Amino acid sequence: MFHKILILLCITTVFLGCSTSSFKRSADEESYGAISEKTDFVPGMTSQVLLDEIGELNLEVFELNNLTFDFLDNEAESEIGASILTLTDALDIAFQRSKDYQTQKELLYLEALALTFDRYRYTPVFSAAGSSDYQWDNRDQFVQDMQDLTGMQNLETVESTFSNTSLGARYILKSGGAIALNLTNNFTRFLSGDINEFGTNALIGSFTQPLIRGFGVDIETEALMQAERDLLYRLRDFTRFRKSFAVRVASNYYSVLLNRETARNNFAGLNATNLSLEREQAFQVEGLTTLLEVGRLEQSSLQADLRWSSSITRYKRSLDNFKILLGLTAEDNIILDDNEMNLITETGMDSPDISLEQATEMAIQTRLDLYNSLDRVQDSARKIEVAANALNPTVNISLVASVPDAKNGNIGELDFENALYSAGLDFDLPLDTMLERNNYRRALIDYESSSRDYLLSLDGVKLEVLDTWRRMNEARKSYDISVTSVEINERRVEEAQLRAELGLGDIQDTVDSQNDLTAARTELVSSIVEHNIAKLEFWRDVGLLYVDDTGQWEEGIDEPN
């Protein structure tokens, strides 16, 4: 008997071990299925949300840098052999490897996983249970006494097993009721002497239905309804995140290039200042200028050198942070493609062909986060009805049918002719409603709060569109000013150098014109970057930036196919 029990335990253990992978597979199928069902309701939503394990990335497949950039000083050698990433490459890597992106996919999956359980509650649920006890009395004191009294040496002891089995099914109705069916079988088998079997069986079916409190599809399925809507909200949030994340990667990409360009400009400014310093030092030797004038230029050279070193540090720090944003490691050696700066310069400073009023109205119609705020107002309104229903008395009707054992010694045979039926009415008067009262009042307040949140979100959307619109205008004006400023300061530097070569120059003019030229060139590049970033954020805030699975975007009025 023992070996049979051990075999049963081994089989059960093997079954559980083998089924682990099937549990994961079934959870994935249902969760991804739930996501797929709602994808069409969210414009711009992707189907690529699989929680795949991130593999190794071979950066050597990209073009490698073999140039040395003098403007990076001691950091120049670190970029030899670095992989050159275009913006397209960076977006693709980020959408595959970014930890932030993976976290958002996991949150979406977990929301869908939670929904599968809420759906499961309204499907037939089956259960099976059993137990078995094995008993014997080979050391029973009574047996020993009987042997001493009667002199019988081969008195047999009794061995027996006691077993219970139960099979059940339960189905929760969306009206608030429940149907249950249970089949039980209890029997005892004696193993000594003649083999006899004693069994008791019963089939019990029941139906319960609330009549007041908890009655109705809207009340009973509120949790399921909220779970369905929560997944929809998460899908919208994920889609909104994809747009914001693509803009974030692009913004950081251009910011790194801007820092690199700033280091290049500061290096050029330092070299120009040092040339002027060498000339003035030669004049000082000839007695054509004073030591005071030379010292002023030396101080300017030191300040330019400091600005150059600081700009290199900012560039390398921003590049390291960009690696982490992409999901790379700090040790990965990459640089960004300088040609990307030329590309956005060639696109010009044109703003989107849409008025501010049209953009604001479009944002109100398309912003997914605004839809979430509006739908949450509806959620809070439903919860008022649920809370009000909980204040009602409990009145439940129940019907029970019980079929007993046939008592003919055949295991599992039932006596339907002697089935018992009963009907009942349970009620509970709401004498203690403190909790329900507080929940109802809380639901009313939540509704008012969610309504205000929606209005606040509506104003926030309008302000976001207005802010990016202003930033584009500011960047465009800054660009125009910087272009003129570069031209003016180039003439100033040229004139200052010419006058200095003739011995007629003023050191302060030389210093000021060179510093102003360096600053103007940096500001020119900065305005181009800022305008491009502001334009991306504008399309994002209007709701008309569409991002594919590799992070590439399309912008404009028409949604891509």
Ranges of the chain whose pLDDT falls below 70: 1-19, 134-163, 186-201, 288, 406, 408-412, 503-505, 556-561
Instruction: List, in sequence order, every beta strand (DSSP E) within 231-374.
Output: 334-336
Strands 420-428 and 394-404: antiparallel
Q: HSE (CB half, 13 Å, CA atoms) of 2?
A: 2
Tell me, what's the pLDDT at 2?
42
Q: DSSP letter at 327? A: T
- Phi and psi torsions of 152, nearest 5°: -80, 125
Give the contacts of 167 (CB within 8 A, at least 6 positions apart): 126, 127, 128, 182, 183
Q: DSSP letter at 77? A: G
For 210-236, b where at least 16 C-beta lie within 10 A, e where not — what string?
A: bbebbbbeebbbbebebbbbbbbbbbb
With beta carbons less than 8 A apart as the criterion, state whether 167 and 128 touch: yes
Q: What whole-number distance in Å separates Cα of residue 461 and Cα of residue 370?
A: 8
Q: Give the length of the chain.
A: 561
Among 359, 371, 349, which residue's Cα sits nearest to residue 463? 359
SS (H, E, C) 366-431: HCHHHHHHHHHHHHHHHHHHHHHHCCCCEEEEEEEEEEEECCCCCCCCECHHHCEEEEEEEEECCC
pTM: 0.85
Q: Per the structure block, which two tokens stand in for 259?
A: 């820092």
468 membership: H or E segment, kind and range: helix 434-501
Q: pLDDT tens, 266-280?
A: 999 999 888 888 877
Distances in Å between the Cα of 435 and the Cα atoms of 284, 381, 428 are 92, 19, 15
The greatest distance separating any two alpha carbons of the chain, rounded to the nearest whole angstrom, comes to 142
Tell me, what's the pLDDT at 3?
44
Question: pLDDT > 70: what percent of the chain?
Answer: 85
Q: pLDDT tens, 349-391?
A: 888 889 999 999 999 999 999 999 999 999 999 999 999 999 9
Tell me, what's the pLDDT at 374?
96
Tell me, what's the pLDDT at 191?
42
Tell me, what's the pLDDT at 279?
79
Q: Per the structure block, which two tokens stand in for 148?
A: 């001493």
